[in-house]
Amino acid sequence: MNKYLMAVPGTRQISGDDKIFGISKAAQDMAAEVGADKVINATIGALLDDEGNLMVMPSIIDIYRSLSPAEIAEYAPIAGVPSFLKNVKKAVFGKYTPNGYIESVATPGGTGAIRNTIQNYSALGDTVLTTDWFWSPYKNISDELGRKLDTFTMFDADKNLNLSSFSSKVEEILSRQTQLVIIFNAPAHNPTGFTPSDSEWDSIVDILKKNADNTDKKIIFFIDAAYIDFAGEEDASRAFFSKFSDLPENILVIVAFSMSKGYTLYGMRSGAMICVTPSADIAAEFKTVNMFSNRATWSNGTRPAMMILSKIFEDETLYNKVAAERAEFRKVLDDRAKVFIEYSNKYGLEMCPFKGGFFITVLCDNAEEIGKKLQKEGVFMVPIGKGLRFAVSAVSEEKCKIVPEKIAAAIGK
Ligand SMILES: Cc1ncc(COP(=O)(O)O)c(C=O)c1O
């Protein structure tokens, strides 16, 4: 926006509508005009069936329907319903709870956890660090709160995590700033689908520890785990958490949990932020400051969603039912991804290293231009940096076979 009427500009640069929702709307408009069968809308970050309908886990809706009126309608405490706060730790860490003091605070989705972390653990004007491929709301939230967002190069030439870029950016920012929030979206990163290997996680922890040797500095490592339930088998995808045990006091780990994808409750706006620290005082402070921020922004969270999670983790039969349904959903996603990658390889497309999740990114120069060209062909993807993000979550296996050839043609391969 260049000119404000009544609103104040604040610290933000507002540039039109949300890009992802804008492209999705264009796909819907085209589908209304020429017919849905001629349009492939690969922009949506939600799991859709082959006909384009939202896939909702039936067990979750059954639990919702079983809730009493008070369980649905009553205000939740500002920090969250106690049984939710206890069980969300199990939902996130599984068998791999790190050693340390662990506190949780309910937030409206993972988004709320990102907002509270930036608000409470970086100073006005500070730089927040993330990967160069990133989910655009990280920037919106940083702008809104008067912080800058900087990035490190995510991949090296061999498509492994670029640990030297990570290390040098952390050092560089900490040379001019007392504390640093690092946002790391894993496992099953959006938009690339990347998950660090076991040894890459070790190296990340080593780099954090090395920088924490200077005890005047404070590092907040924020793990955005929004896609953890679609990052392979539930146990294996959580094993890395135990590496965050017994860290120095000046490293605070915060994990963002989301009920949007893993519980198919996108519209319920429920999630949590969970801290891991060796200090009881830092954990208590975490609770206090984030409850204050909850109160000062959205107040309390969505009680029925919190009740659903509590009930799942307090009833083994229910838990197994949810896990089985989710495994079926995950299979749909994994099968589509396999086909998309197979055909992309066939047509010589280069991709970011995909390990799982909702999105695959195809590398291309002039992504904006190629994206527009593909829209004319009825294929809608989100241009991000030097790539086009394809939502396997939203496109049938059959259509996953068709798109790579169209991308190759648009690029001129
Ligand atoms: C990378 C990433 N982080 C966090 C979220 C937060 O989701 P929610 O606020 O719905 O929990 C999303 C949702 O699309 C996401 O893609």
Q: What is the pLDDT of residues 21-43, one digit of tens each?
A: 889 999 999 999 999 889 999 99
Rounded-to-integer distance, Cα 300 and Cα 293, Å: 10
- Ligand 1 pocket, mutate which of 257, 261, 274, 361 (most atoms under 8 A from CB): 261
Q: What is the pLDDT of residue 19?
A: 80
Q: Confidence class of residue 15 from pLDDT cuts 50, 70 and 90?
A: confident
Q: Round to whole Å and give the CA distance between 141 and 115.
A: 6
Using a 6 Å cutoff on CB, does residue 111 contact ligand 1?
Answer: yes
Report the pLDDT value the prediction gives residue 413, as an integer from 0 to 100: 76
- Per residue in 95-118, pLDDT (tens digit) is 999 999 999 999 999 999 999 999
Burial of 212 per CB tally in 10 Å (0-12, 13-18, 19+): middle
Q: What is the pLDDT of residues 391-411, one digit of tens each?
A: 999 999 999 999 999 999 999
Q: What is the mean pLDDT of the chain?
A: 96
pLDDT at 14: 85
Q: With a 6 A CB cut-off, is 226 part of the ligand 1 pocket? A: yes
Task: Reply yes or no on whether the pLDDT at 267 is more than 90.
Answer: yes
Ligand 1 center from residue 229 Cα (angstroms):
13
Report the nearest atom of ligand 1 relative to the CA of 114: 4
Q: What does DSSP assign to residue 70?
A: H
Q: Domain 68-317 falls in which CATH fold? A: Aspartate Aminotransferase; domain 2 (3.40.640)
Q: Do domains 19-57+319-411 and 68-317 have the same CATH topology?
A: no
Ligand 1 neighbour 224 (Cβ under 6 A): yes
Predicted confidence at residue 233, as pLDDT, reads: 87
Across 162-306, the runs of DSSP E, i.e. the strands, are 179-185, 218-224, 251-258, 271-277
Tell me if the pTM is above 0.75: yes
Per-residue pLDDT, averaged over 15-23, amounts to 80
What is the C-alpha separation between 405 and 396, in angstroms, rounded? 16
According to the model, what pLDDT value does residue 373 have? 95
The domain 19-57+319-411 is classified under which CATH number: 1.10.10.10, 3.40.190.10, 3.90.1150.10, 3.40.50.300? 3.90.1150.10
Q: How far is the CA of 138 from the centre of ligand 1 (A)?
A: 10
Task: Enumerate the domain spans of the chain.
Answer: 19-57+319-411, 68-317
> What confidence tier does 320 reach under pLDDT thresholds 50, 70, 90?
very high
Question: Could you tell me the two tokens for 165?
Answer: 């870029």
11 pLDDT above the threshold of 80? yes
> For residue 2, is pLDDT > 80?
no
